[in-house]
Chains A and B, each alone.
Chain A
């Protein structure tokens, strides 16, 4: 159990907002060192994820999907359910380029739990591509579930379409906060641009996480204490 605790402690030590060099996302290996993420100290940190316009880049952006995959996956929200074509995009695509457990050995909670995003069984190719498991995970365990991303949010109680996924068929009102941005969470627009409005707002990884660092654990935009993070959107 020592190692997971150490990792957890490292995650908890994430730095303050904006100081990405003080977070585990400092992949240049400054503080703290991330296992399996060697990066030449001469590389600028930002271009690992961001590529300035017209700037020749020397580091190839990680490509979603891994070997033999084309960027569109059949995923099943319910392992027993029907397959549904899902196309990652936006910030989530950027996150998954590392956290899917195929390109990178880094994963969301514990490797190879990120295979659950692919919804492959424990013996599937994604898991096989992962590095050897750590103590805390159960490689024979169930496919693991994650909070949906790339889904619409009923901003101001207005159901909308996001990433081609329609609104829930039932009344949306009481279960949701009208605008979670008031609590510090982030919604994203369906189309290009920065204007987020009712009818086309969505949830991505960045809704809850700010990969550049927050005062909270796990890059969370709100503390887990009292489940403030969950209750930022969900009125339960």
Chain B
């Protein structure tokens, strides 16, 4: 008895007369009968019912031929079927076909019609009218596929429960009545409160959701509201009925300005815009405003495509979208972030490896798929390689207005390369000139991990490609307090964190009339401008310490200021690596030696003569080492043939 009483107390007690389902004239609802005072009769009759179990008072014959559109999604494992079970009774009003008062039997009359007040016949327009189009509603009459690791059956005793479906007597099916109890005097007739997604997560288990940034958020939504993002949980992005974006039932508002309100980015922009949420007291700021980022001069063009993206982070195998994006050019927020697991940075303690890409899959440097896990966190560059790696030509096709066109960044950052900016792996140039500024080196600021940047450290893609507001600090952009961080958008070309001129010279002369550090602001975030442009002292490896012209000193100074007014990119054209050095002849570079990221711009020309060091004539501008091991150039630039392989031998000092 006490057990039953406990159950009784735990369960919400029905009171249909107090609900909107009380259609009687005395029910007091907007939708009500003109004069009928019975309550149950709109759905049930003790005799002359449509069928005996339950005793339904609606003629459901029309449903056999009703043209229902069923839910479908590329991530759905179960197979939707036409409405069956108790769902049929719900739909007999909510699909809008039958008049609300049309009953099998009323007061011993068959096929009776109960007149409704205010001229109402069928279900009035509004959220409760689902119509025959059920593809934007949570699937019903569907047997859950528990082979999907993100689906579990409701625990025994849970208010949420499976119901009878196609097989009588077998309760294995999700019906309307799995979540709703039509007699309950609760919010939307729900069997339990959906606070923090309690209803949804009864069946939907999303790995990493608990403790994710979205789950933990205390930010009010709407901004002036009293509910929080964490409390709203699933309903921030999904809605069980009448979803604007049907597959995966996303709720959206048209915020990107595109023609299609269901565009994927709109889901995120509901919160991720200026004033999208209130301030999260645990973080002291609202949800990052990404709408502003995506409207900047350069940005990842989330607005460019709609209905092309498919999720790759769900448990469904094979994923609807390959991790290596070879199918269709597009980018959406969910191509880089898993909203069920995403974390803000930095994580505390630092041993917590979760980050903004947690729960994603990427492409590792060896070309294999990298699946995020606690023991093997997915790395930022692995996310970038989804599009900027082996399939870069799909996403960044050659363009006359954007030389150079893209390159395979996965190959660019291979640790076996002779020279590359050290994304993911320490670089090849282990010269002490690349020590931190504080100990006499050229590199300034801190690396992404907060320790002083030097030759042993690695970079993130976002150390160069980032919101321009992160250029307020030296070193890695991650150490900036500005934001939102990430390669969402930038006022600079190529999504760069700071300005970098892409002007190159020609035979008529150099690109610039004088030195302006702002032309190379990006480089100078890490490479100390003073040590590159000072005339003397052991600043870099590009230094004339002997031979012809000995005493000229710092050759970076010579090229940037003294003589040439060159651009960094004229000699470091592809700054990612030397893998695609299509316009460079490397001479006598030892297999293990660094090529110092020297690769020449297309406007740098081969020297019109034989190299005195090799006796050969090249078709490309050359850089390498003399027989005695001194570095030298052999090329024509800015109309000058001065780089003749004799005068252009230089001798860096020991650091």
Contact = CB atoms under 8 A, between A and B. Distances in A.
A87 interface: no
A144 B45 CA distance: 10
Given A171-B7, A172-B4, A7 B44 contact: no
Contact of B51 (A136, A138, A145, A174): A145
A174 B39 contact: no
B101 to A, nearest CB: 15
Nearest to A156: B1
Given A136-B109, A146-B55, A236 B16 contact: yes
Contact of A81 (B13, B37, B168, B183): B168
B49 interface: yes
B46 A208 contact: yes
Nearest to B47: A109
Interface residues of B, number: 43
A74 interface: no
Contact of B109 (A8, A81, A231): A8
A44 to B, nearest CB: 29
Nearest to A143: B51
Contact of B52 (A119, A137, A158): A119
B627 interface: no
Contacts of B40: 227, 230-231, 234, 236
A78 B60 CA distance: 14
Contacts of B24: 226-227
Interface in A1-21: 4, 7-8, 11
A77 B49 CA distance: 12
Contacts of B53: 77-78, 81, 145, 148
A235 interface: yes
Contacts of A218: 108
Contacts of A7: 108
A236 B183 contact: yes
Nearest to B42: A227
Given A175-B14, A227-B39, A144 B7 contact: no
A174 B13 contact: yes
B38 interface: yes
A229 to B, nearest CB: 8
Interface in A177-236: 208, 217-218, 224-227, 230-231, 234-236
B61 interface: yes
Contacts of B168: 78, 80-82
Given A110-B108, A225-B37, A227-B39, A174 B52 contact: no
Nearest to A144: B48
A80 to B, nearest CB: 6
A177 to B, nearest CB: 11
Most chain A C-beta atoms within 10 Å of own C-beta, residue among B40, B47, B59:
B47
Interface residues of A, number: 47
A11 to B, nearest CB: 7
A144 B59 CA distance: 10
Interface string A115-152: 01001000000000000000011100111111110000
B445 to A, nearest CB: 64
A71 interface: no
Contact of B108 (A81, A109, A116): A109
A48 interface: no
A113 interface: yes
B14 A146 contact: no
A79 interface: yes
A138 B14 contact: no
A76 B51 CA distance: 10
A67 interface: no
A26 B46 CA distance: 24
Most chain A C-beta atoms within 10 Å of own C-beta, residue among B15, B39, B157:
B39
Given A224-B38, A225-B37, A145 B50 contact: yes
B12 A174 contact: yes
A144 B50 contact: yes
Contact of B38 (A142, A148, A172, A226): A226
A113 to B, nearest CB: 5
Nearest to B17: A226
A45 interface: no
Contacts of A157: 1, 4-5, 8
Nearest to A235: B14
A212 B37 CA distance: 26
Contact of A77 (B12, B13, B52): B52
Contacts of B109: 4, 8, 136
Contact of A142 (B44, B46, B50, B107): B50
B492 interface: no
B11 interface: yes
A144 B104 contact: yes
B56 interface: yes
A132 to B, nearest CB: 16
B342 interface: no
B504 interface: no
Most chain A C-beta atoms within 10 Å of own C-beta, residue among B5, B14, B26:
B14
A8 B108 contact: yes
A138 B59 CA distance: 12
Interface string A143-169: 111111000000001100000000000
A35 to B, nearest CB: 15
Contacts of B110: 109-110, 113, 136-138, 141
Contacts of B419: none
A171 B46 contact: no
B11 A174 contact: yes
B13 A235 contact: yes
A132 B31 CA distance: 40
A136 B109 CA distance: 7
A175 B55 CA distance: 16
A108 interface: yes
Given A116-B52, A142-B50, A142-B61, 19 more contacts: A11-B108, A78-B51, A81-B53, A108-B48, A109-B48, A138-B111, A144-B50, A144-B51, A145-B52, A147-B49, A147-B55, A158-B1, A171-B4, A173-B7, A225-B37, A226-B39, A227-B38, A227-B41, A230-B39
27 contacts: A7-B108, A8-B107, A78-B168, A80-B168, A108-B47, A108-B48, A110-B108, A110-B110, A113-B47, A113-B48, A116-B52, A119-B52, A142-B59, A144-B48, A147-B46, A148-B53, A157-B4, A158-B1, A171-B4, A173-B4, A173-B5, A174-B8, A225-B37, A226-B39, A230-B40, A231-B40, A236-B40
Interface of B: 1, 4-5, 7-8, 11-17, 24, 26, 37-41, 44, 46-53, 55-56, 59, 61, 104-105, 107-111, 157, 168-169, 183
Which are the 10 A-B pairs with shortest beta-carbon distances? A145-B49, A145-B52, A81-B168, A173-B8, A236-B183, A147-B46, A77-B53, A227-B39, A227-B40, A145-B51
Interface of A: 4, 7-8, 11, 76-82, 108-110, 113, 116, 119, 136-138, 141-148, 157-158, 171-175, 208, 217-218, 224-227, 230-231, 234-236
